[in-house]
Amino acid sequence: MARAKADEDDYWNSSKFAQAFTFDDEDDDFTRLKESKKAVNSISALVDEDDEDDDVEKVSWSGEPVGSISWSVKETASSLRPVGDSRELGFPKINASPSLPKNNSGYSLSSLFKVKTKVGGILSSADSFSDTPARHYAPELRKPKCELKDYISNWSPEETVLKMQQGKVVSLERFQSLQDKMLLLDKAVDGHDGNIITAILIYLKRSLCKEVLFRELVARETALQHYIHYLKESGEQKVLLDLFRALGRTEDEALLQYKHHLTITDENKRRDFLKTCLSLPFSPEDATHVQDHYTLLERQIIIEENDKMVERNGQSDLFKRFPRKSSILNMPLITTLYYSCFYHYSEPEGTYSSPANIRRTFKLAEKQYFLTALGARAKLKAWTDVDSLFTTRNWLGFTKKKSPVAFQRVLDILHKNNAPVQVLEVYVYLLEDLELKINMAHKFKCHDVIINTYRDTKDRQQLLGYQRKFDRSSVEHRKIADLLNNSQIRWKN
């Protein structure tokens, strides 16, 4: 009963609703919005204007209950935003605006966030985690803006963690010795609050040298995981790599390094970066993949440069007839092979862009190569190329059709590319399963196949039935009539 009680027909068909309205921010059509609102209101008038615990909900066209939060956000936003998004008015970038002077003392933590180093001089009292008690809304909460005072006391590690969990202000500075610090960390881990574990790790990261911290973390799996997560979140790639190295987690280190390539948009820089990845300690399988990745991009850059020029100069008829939809850069290997089969099919194996070269370089399986080439040549309607893909010649010089995938799949692909009946027929004949052969022949309207198959199976009834589908004057009709009159055939029915 999520719908309004209002009559369904009225709801859907009233002229106010005929134009479905949206609550999108972009919707600057004020009149429509007003009208819609009126409509919404008129609907709500139909239902009991009760408190919201009524089991009837008001629903707008988009299905949001009228008055739901996401509805209202859009509603107030769209009626407020001036036409022409306010985002376009140039805003001062944060970097340009003066840093707010803070009178706090202590350490600068900004060095921890190297990714987005801000205008210097923002000092903060690092380790006093000022907190307003989370769930006790007492009047003292209306404190002066962001109070950050250092609170010194002699809490034990356990008490400190507990206070932090309760959102109290604590100082970590008094934990000076390594032993104390680790005790503090262990207590935090016992408490399982990731937020507090992270807070303590930030303190440790600053107050301990890297080697010592790493060494201590080795024996503390949970804390270590939080530390890794923290470094990832704050984008401290370098420290993280050092850590993995120190831990002997070389594969993680390699993968993390490799992942970085996704952020590089310039293809040449990306290629060079991938080259540096080749020497990383990947697992043997992954190492092969990274090598292939590098080789592929290297090839793509060469092919792209060449093809772009050929296309621009109008040197190639193929590019004119089938303009490239996008560049080949960063496409998967199979897509690249398809591209090559499409634009560079007849090139000799020596050229980088030839299908044969790609097939050999990446050691592609026969099936993969075959399907890709078939798809590309069928798309171009190059039926002779398709035909020769299947043709093998034995030592006596006889030709034979062979395929690494089922002929049914081949037919699907050809059919999708609108292959003519004459082409399809050849492969329907090659299907071994009789029932399948008939079905496919029906599907593709290969009359000859059907007629000949019924002849071969001496099925007069089927043949008679099939004959009725044709005009008396048609070739097929006459052909069937000839067969039926053929006294040489011994019909089974």
Q: Give residues 137-176 in contact with other proteins (rule: CB under 8 A).
A: 137, 141-143, 145-146, 162, 167
Amino acid (1-letter code) at residue 333: L
Per-residue interface string for the shown chain with other proteins, residues 73-102, x marking contact by CB under 8 A? x--xx--xx----xx-x-xx-x--x-xx-x
Is residue 219 involved in binding other proteins (CB under 8 A)? no
Is residue 196 involved in binding other proteins (CB under 8 A)? yes
271 vs 455 by CB, closer to other proteins: 271
Taking a C-beta distance cutoff of 8 angstroms, is the pair 122, 95 a contact? no
Rounded to the nearest angstrom, the gap between the alpha carbon of residue 113 and the centroid of all alpha carbons in its chain is 28
Q: To the nearest whole angstrom, how small is the minimum distance from the Cβ of residue 185 to other proteins?
A: 14
Q: To the nearest whole angstrom, how small is the minimum distance from the Cβ of residue 430 to other proteins?
A: 19
Out of 39, 40, 71, 170, the only residue in the binding site for other proteins (CB under 8 A) is 71
Taking a C-beta distance cutoff of 8 angstroms, is the pair 322, 342 a contact? yes
**Three-state SS sequence of 323-365:** CCCCCCCCCCHHHHHHHHHHHCCCCCCCCCCCHHHHHHHCCCC
Residues 437-456 touching other proteins, rule: CB under 8 A, are none
Is residue 367 involved in binding other proteins (CB under 8 A)? yes
The one-character DSSP state at 115 is G
Three-state DSSP at 202 gives helix
Amino acid (1-letter code) at residue 29: D
371 vs 480 by CB, closer to other proteins: 371
Out of 30, 34, 38, 221, the only residue in the binding site for other proteins (CB under 8 A) is 221
- Cα separation of 416 and 423, whole Å? 13
Is residue 386 involved in binding other proteins (CB under 8 A)? no
- Cα separation of 34 and 31, whole Å? 5
- Cα separation of 163 and 192, whole Å? 14
Measured CA to CA in angstroms, residue 220 lies from 156, 158, 190 at distances of 20, 17, 11
Residues 325-344 touching other proteins, rule: CB under 8 A, are 330-335
Out of 225, 276, 315, 388, the only residue in the binding site for other proteins (CB under 8 A) is 225
198 vs 237 by CB, closer to other proteins: 198
Number of residues engaging other proteins in binding (CB under 8 A): 112
- Cα separation of 417 and 420, whole Å? 9
Taking a C-beta distance cutoff of 8 angstroms, is the pair 301, 288 a contact? no
Out of 362, 427, 444, 454, the only residue in the binding site for other proteins (CB under 8 A) is 362
Considering only the C-alpha atoms of the chain, give the largest distance between any 2 of them, rounded to a whole number of Å. Answer: 114
Taking a C-beta distance cutoff of 8 angstroms, is the pair 46, 59 a contact? no
- Cα separation of 482 and 51, whole Å? 84
257 vs 353 by CB, closer to other proteins: 257
Is residue 1 involved in binding other proteins (CB under 8 A)? yes
- Cα separation of 45 and 66, whole Å? 13
Taking a C-beta distance cutoff of 8 angstroms, is the pair 161, 205 a contact? no
Stretch that binds other proteins, among 177-185, 344-352, 364-372, 467-475 (CB under 8 A): 364-372
19 vs 315 by CB, closer to other proteins: 19
Q: To the nearest whole angstrom, how small is the minimum distance from the Cβ of residue 22 to other proteins?
A: 6
Q: To the nearest whole angstrom, how small is the minimum distance from the Cβ of residue 407 to other proteins?
A: 14
For residue 345, give both structure tokens: 């099919």
409 vs 478 by CB, closer to other proteins: 409
Taking a C-beta distance cutoff of 8 angstroms, is the pair 376, 342 a contact? yes
Taking a C-beta distance cutoff of 8 angstroms, is the pair 448, 442 a contact? no
Is residue 379 involved in binding other proteins (CB under 8 A)? no
Residues 11-70 touching other proteins, rule: CB under 8 A, are 12-13, 18-20, 22, 25, 52-57, 59, 61-65, 67-70
Is residue 322 involved in binding other proteins (CB under 8 A)? no
Per-residue interface string for the shown chain with other proteins, residues 258-297, x marking contact by CB under 8 A? xx-xx----------------------xx--xx-xx--x-
53 vs 471 by CB, closer to other proteins: 53
Is residue 198 involved in binding other proteins (CB under 8 A)? yes
φ/ψ of residue 155, rounded to 5: -70, 145
Is residue 110 involved in binding other proteins (CB under 8 A)? yes
- Cα separation of 143 and 132, whole Å? 9
13 vs 315 by CB, closer to other proteins: 13
2 vs 475 by CB, closer to other proteins: 2
Q: To the nearest whole angstrom, how small is the minimum distance from the Cβ of residue 476 to other proteins?
A: 30
